[in-house]
Structures are given as C-alpha cells and as structure tokens.
Chains A and B, each alone.
Chain A
C-alpha cells in the first residue's frame, strides 16, 4: 500500500542535542511538508518542499532544518536552537498542479525533552 512512513513514533531529546525525524513516502508526490502540532492547537507549517533539492521555510522554521535529496524522503532535524521542541510532528505529501489535491499525512512523531 502507498503511504507516508514517519519514524520513530516516540523520540526523546537531551539538552543541546540535535535529533532527526524521518519521513518517507512511496506515493510519488512532488511536494512534502512538515507541521508541528501543540496540544489544543491547529497544525503550523515548519518547512515545505515542492521539488527535489529545493525547500522553503514555513511559519515557524527557526530551530529546524530539512533536506530533500530524494523525492521519497524529507527528514526534519530539530536542532538545539529550538528551545521548546516538545510537540507532535506530522509529515505530509501531495500532488502538485491540480486544484484541490489533498495532503496525505503520516502517523506522526512525538518528541519530548529528557
């Protein structure tokens, strides 16, 4: 079955440590996105990529970095500069160029501070 796989499901970060969240899709989608979800809030856009080897900052990119070396993969690194990283992180992908195409989501990674 096609879909989006996020790993790990749970992740713990120590002070001063960088951690990387994995996102892989086999839907052949051009566009991929990372969102952050805090309790009782909607999702906020961290980074997005509409094509391989290109990505753009979203609304809350500070303290995060990404890469898009392959169409299938869009890993997110939470750096030590992100002072409040505890949240639920969701990766999504979509087809580009057709109006109304929905985004498909992975099952998320829950990041906590040790």
Chain B
C-alpha cells in the first residue's frame, strides 16, 4: 500500500537557521505530493504541493522538489522564524480509488529566538 515516512521530531532550531525536513514515499501509480502545516489546536493548512517529477512547490519561503528517482519530497527553508514553529506533515494522494491523503507521522518544528 501507499506510505509516507518523515524524519522524527522534534526539530529544534535557532531563528534564521536552515531547515530541512525529510520525506520519502512509496505509492502505486503516480502520486501528487503535499506538505501541510498544523499550528496548535488548529486544522491542517496546505503549505505547498507538486504533481509531477521535478516540480518544485514553494510558499512563504518553503520549498520542496518532487524527486521521482529517490521517491522524496524534502521540505526546506533558508531562514526560519519563530512563527514557523508548528507540526509539518508530508502527504500523498493518488488518482485512483479513494483519493484520500496518506500522511506521514508529522515533524514538530520548534524555532527559538
């Protein structure tokens, strides 16, 4: 079946540090890939997405590139802020069957001033 693996958290960084959160996947078919962010007590917000190989999704300084050869979709940001502290989820969907999202377990990011 489909699955997503994320790096374990929490990830603790100082403000303005470089961020990488690793995400790899296995899927039947050709999935679309997503990063969602969850702030405390809230639902999930779409951060960025990519639908085909070598696509780069970007938003709010975050980027991720769809790497089909390594089945990866790592999230990066050049300079994190305290306001980026949240839980980040990598997810995939396929265009057949139920089309629901398959999520990784989430990575908590804590940014210290």
Contact = CB atoms under 8 A, between A and B. Distances in A.
B103 interface: yes
* 9 tightest A-B CB contacts, nearest first: A100-B51, A42-B103, A105-B43, A100-B32, A105-B44, A42-B105, A102-B46, A107-B43, A43-B103
13 contacts: A40-B105, A43-B44, A43-B103, A45-B98, A45-B101, A56-B98, A58-B100, A94-B99, A100-B32, A100-B49, A107-B42, A108-B41, A108-B42
A106 interface: yes
A26 interface: no
Contacts of B49: 100, 102
B51 A41 contact: no
B42 to A, nearest CB: 6
A99 B89 contact: no
A40 B98 contact: no
| Interface-centre pick from B46, B89, B100, B103 (highest chain A CB count, 10 A) | B100
Interface string B26-45: 00000010101000011111
Size class of the contact patch on chain A: 20 to 34
| Interface-centre pick from A6, A48, A100 (highest chain B CB count, 10 A) | A100
Contact of A41 (B32, B41, B50, B105): B105
Contacts of A102: 34, 46, 49
Size class of the contact patch on chain B: 20 to 34
Contacts of B104: 42
B100 A45 contact: yes
Interface string A73-110: 00000000000000000101010100110111111100
Contacts of B42: 107-108
A42 B32 contact: no
Nearest to B101: A103
B91 to A, nearest CB: 8
